[in-house]
DNA sequence: GACTCTATTTATAATTG
DNA sequence: TCAATTATAAATAGAGT
């Protein structure tokens, strides 16, 4: 809808992304409202804007109640779908991971890693990030500052796109399966 | 959209209500997906069909994580309401996460308690910590950082202590800020 | 019931004020 | 930066299979 057909990928321009968010958020909430009334159902919608601000909607019941209903579902009411989703996604992710691992290995000049070593590396990386995170928190406790954005890796982005495409496929399939 | 303009009120005919639900649910999920990709945001959508069956969607993050983010917001950021027991919700969410993590481990094929799996558990734990940490940073409007896998085996305890100390400081500052 | 088809309404990207 | 407008894409109500 609109003057041109829009590709579904991250809008890089900050202003445009925020504007599109505002418009589409309103549209989404309107649709959610209509669905809740037309079909007389419980619905909960939670969104965080690009700047981290919360938007949410729920129909006749409070959002906490709907979340509660979700959380309190018996295991078997959620398990099947969720696991199917997860398994598929995990397969896709593993495939992607293998590919990127191979790329890394090649660029590293072929350092051989056992699985345990790779995991250990992941742990180290994560430790570093946690440390950085903690440092930032400490800093904020003293004085607020603006933090330089992290550099986006093209590999990560294409990886993420593949992932989201897979997700779309899964959701699509899932929807057809359920309805 | 459609042959006639539809009044937004409960559809009394059971069949029509179910059909409309199926169609509009798919539309709503598609819109949610597009919004999450275009604007690169966290989103969670929970619906219960007229017959009580669950449909849900979340984007790049697991729905439990998005709900967790919502639940962890400072009180005043959520449109100040009577809130359900937060502790209870968080406990349940944690349980759900553990369960799905276990499911993933099992589906990854097998024997429990290998070294690799222990390491994987450490990574999961650290990821959780990192996410919480990032949430706190977000509270201070810090730029988001990229998150990837996580914690140290040897230093886990001291790292955790450091982390908890920081949290305490932040919480402290937060309460002063509010009062 | 689940698809397909299309007339029509609705949402929205770009543009304008 | 915002709100209003407009041209176009997208969603969907009802009918047919």
Supply the DSSP string of A89-139, one letter for each residue: HHHHHHHHHHHHHHHHHHHTT-----HHHHHHHHHHHHHHHHHHHHHHHHH
Taking only the tens place, the pLDDT of each residue in B154-169 is 333 333 333 344 344 4
Taking only the tens place, the pLDDT of each residue in A63-89 is 888 888 887 776 545 533 433 343 333
CB-strand contact B4/D, under 7 Å: yes
**Cβ–Cβ contact A131 with B under 8 A:** yes
Nucleotide nearest A22, from its CA to each C1' = C12
Minimum CA–CA partner of A179 in chain B: B22
Q: How many helices (H) and strands (E) does chain A have?
A: 5, 2
What pLDDT score was predicted for residue B133? 53
Chain D footprint bases within 7 A of protein beta carbons: 1, 6-15
Confidence band of A44 (pLDDT split at 50, 70, 90):
very high
Helix (H), strand (E) at residue B145: none
Q: Tell me if A37 sits within 8 A of B10, measured CB to CB.
A: yes
**Cβ–Cβ contact A57 with B under 8 A:** no
Output the six-digit token pair for B81. Answer: 């309401």
**Above 50 in pLDDT, residue A162?**
no
- Better-scored residue on pLDDT, A173 or A121: A121
d(CA B49, CA A40): 9
d(CA B43, CA B26): 16
Q: How many helices (H) and strands (E) does chain B have?
A: 5, 2
The proportion of chain A whose per-residue pLDDT surpasses 90, expressed as a percent, equals 18
Distances from the Cα of B10 to the Cα of A34, A99, B17, B165, angstroms:
9, 50, 8, 52
Output the six-digit token pair for B178. Answer: 């509010």
DSSP assignment of B31-92, as one string? HHHHHHHHTT--EEEEEE-TTS-EEEEESSS-HHHHHHHHHTS-GGGS-S-----HHHHHHH
Confidence band of B60 (pLDDT split at 50, 70, 90):
confident
CATH number of A14-72: 3.40.1810.10
**Above 80 in pLDDT, residue B33?**
yes
- Residue carrying structure tokens 């005919």: B13
Contact B100 A82 (CB under 8 A): yes
Output the six-digit token pair for B47. Answer: 């619906």
Output the six-digit token pair for B120. Answer: 């994987």
- Count the helix, strand and coil residues of chain B and give each as a percent rounded to the nearest 5: 60, 5, 35
What pLDDT score was predicted for residue A8? 86
Taking only the tens place, the pLDDT of each residue in B12-29 is 888 889 999 999 998 999
Neighbours of B123 (CB within 10 A): 20
Average pLDDT over residues B39-68: 89
- The region of weakest confidence among A1-15, A163-177, B117-131, B139-153 is B139-153
Return phi, psi of residue B39, to 5°: -105, 0
- In this structure, chain A runs to a length of 179
d(CA B22, CA B32): 15
d(CA B15, CA B19): 6
Scanning A144-163 for CB atoms below 8 A from B yields 144, 146-150, 156, 160, 163
User: Which of A79-83, A85-89, A93-97, A128-132 is modeled with the greatest confidence?
Assistant: A128-132
- Better-scored residue on pLDDT, B125 or A64: A64
- Better-scored residue on pLDDT, A138 or A145: A138
Confidence band of B64 (pLDDT split at 50, 70, 90):
confident
- Better-scored residue on pLDDT, A131 or A140: A131
Distances from the Cα of A21 to the Cα of A126, B38, B102, B124, angstroms:
31, 8, 36, 31
Minimum CA–CA partner of A25 in chain B: B35
- In this structure, chain B runs to a length of 179
Instruction: Tell me which residue in B27, B81, B103 faces A31 most closely, judged by beta carbons.
Output: B27
What pLDDT score was predicted for residue B155? 33
Output the six-digit token pair for A112. Answer: 């051989």
């Amino acid at each position: 809808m609109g003057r041109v057909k829009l590709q579904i990928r991250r809008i890089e321009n900050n202003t445009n992304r925020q504007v599109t968010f505002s418009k589409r958020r309103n549209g989404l909430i309107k649709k959610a409202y209509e669905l809740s009334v037309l079909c007389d159902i419980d619905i909960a919608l939670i969104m965080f804007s690009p700047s981290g601000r919360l938007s949410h909607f729920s129909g006749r019941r409070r959002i906490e109640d709907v979340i509660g209903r979700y959380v309190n579902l018996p295991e078997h009411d959620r398990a099947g779908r969720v696991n199917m989703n997860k398994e598929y996604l995990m397969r896709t992710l593993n495939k992607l991971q293998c590919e990127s691992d191979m790329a890394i290995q090649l660029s590293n000049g072929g350092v051989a890693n056992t699985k345990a070593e790779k995991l250990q590396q992941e742990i180290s990386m994560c430790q570093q990030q946690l440390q950085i995170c903690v440092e930032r928190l400490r800093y904020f406790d003293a004085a607020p500052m603006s933090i330089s954005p992290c550099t986006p890796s093209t590999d990560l982005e294409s990886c993420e796109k593949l992932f989201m495409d897979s997700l779309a496929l899964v959701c699509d399939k899932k929807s057809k399966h359920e309805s």
